[in-house]
Amino acid sequence: MTGPIRLMLTGGGTGGHLFPAIATAEALCRRVPGSEVLFVGTKRKMDKRSLEQYGYATCSIHSKGLKGKNLMSLLQGLLVLPVSCLEAMYHILRFQPDLVVGVGGYVTGPVVAAARLLGRPTLIHEQNSVPGLANRKLAALVGRICISLPGSEDCFDDSKTVLTGNPVRNAILKLSEEKRELNATPTLLVLGGSLGAHRVNELVTGAFALGRKELAGVKVIHQTGAADVEEVKEAYRRSNVDATVEAFFTDMTEVYRKADLLVSRAGATTLAELAVLGKAAVLIPYPHAADRHQEKNADYYVEGGGALMFVEKEIDTERLADSLVKLFAEPQRLEEMGEAMRQRAFPHAAERIVDECLALVEKFSGTEN
């Protein structure tokens, strides 16, 4: 198929699902000009705001998560499934996609299942080292499965699984091509994921509150999530720390550009971005992530030498402060860790996923003729 295609992308609920989808859409539209993209997602305001920023058409369906829910929430989720599937069918019939791609999150399930029922070619992309519930259930239905980290293929059918890596947005890729030098003022970037991380916020502000003289000249850029923003601002003010604090940063390119070292959760998409950019990191995985997938995500980068990992229950403010002091005292080590992160990156992940998408569309159109 040589002409423009109509791509339906579905997923969301966190930036970790949404940003790889945006990266895939960007790569497709570069490769096949004139292609049209429709995102089917949740009703979360952050999803809609992020997508509108990139100019993509969106719609949503009613959908609820099933994994880890109490009995009442589980029943509600099951009862809404038929509605979810009918709404998904409506959007598919209206948009007439050439291909439907799921990127994870509970909204993916009904949309990809509906696409399969309507005879559309389907592909899923798994960001994490341990596949989520939606992708595990959809694996038998789809034509192709793209994975982000080595080892995930053990969870899927080898005959239709390909290691592509986790795609990052074009702006991040462009930043990775810039010449990078350490800042005159050491700069720490703190990320807790798109929703923030209360314990990470406590640990980092607590580490600076210890008053270690070696950290006195460090500048902090801190994404807190909406709940903690004022508390974190006040904590840095009391500790006399030069800190830029926001609930959520929309321009991550500029934020990443300034960072010498990160303290972060271990979401798959954040790690993919850090790897492409060659950023050293101290990782504190979210302890309640399904199947401990954040710890397993982090393992891949820690084994390569690009990051340190601390289990949340085993780290305190003094231990974190000690790690930050040691890392900032050794600029050469930070550079070596950054290079080790870069060695584990997949900068062409989006292009590889587009390759698989176009091959599926070509195969399907061939069977139709």
Q: Which domains does the chain have, with CATH numbers?
A: 6-167+347-368 (3.40.50.2000), 173-343 (3.40.50.2000)
- pLDDT value for 369: 47
Residue 247 neighbours by CB under 8 Å, 6+ apart: 196, 223, 224, 225, 226, 229
Summarised one tens digit per residue, pLDDT across range 6-39 is 999 998 755 567 888 889 999 999 999 999 999 9
Backbone torsion region of residue 56, taken as left when φ is above 0, otherwise alpha when ψ lies between -120 and 50, otherwise beta:
beta
Burial 120-155 (b: 16+ CB within 10 A, else e): bbbbbbbbbbbbbbbbeebbeebbbbbbbbeebeeb
**Which residues are within 8 A (CB) of 255 and not within 5 positions of it... i.e. 6 or more apart?**
189, 221, 223, 249
The arithmetic mean of pLDDT across residues 67-78, rounded, is 59
Using alpha carbons only, what angle is made at residue 316 by residues 312 and 322, rounded to the nearest 5 degrees? Answer: 115
Place of tokens 């990992």: 309
Please indicate whether residue 82 or residue 272 has the higher confidence score (pLDDT).
272
Mean pLDDT of the chain: 89
207 phi, psi to nearest 5 deg = -65, -40
With cut-offs at 50, 70 and 90, classify the pLDDT of residue 45.
Answer: low
H or E element, residue 264 = strand 261-264
Residue 218, judged by CB atoms within 10 A of its CB (0-12, 13-18, 19+), counts as: buried
Residue-wise pLDDT for 255-269, tens only, equals: 999 999 999 999 999
Query: Tokens 């539209």 — which residue?
Result: 29
pTM for the predicted model, two decimal places: 0.88
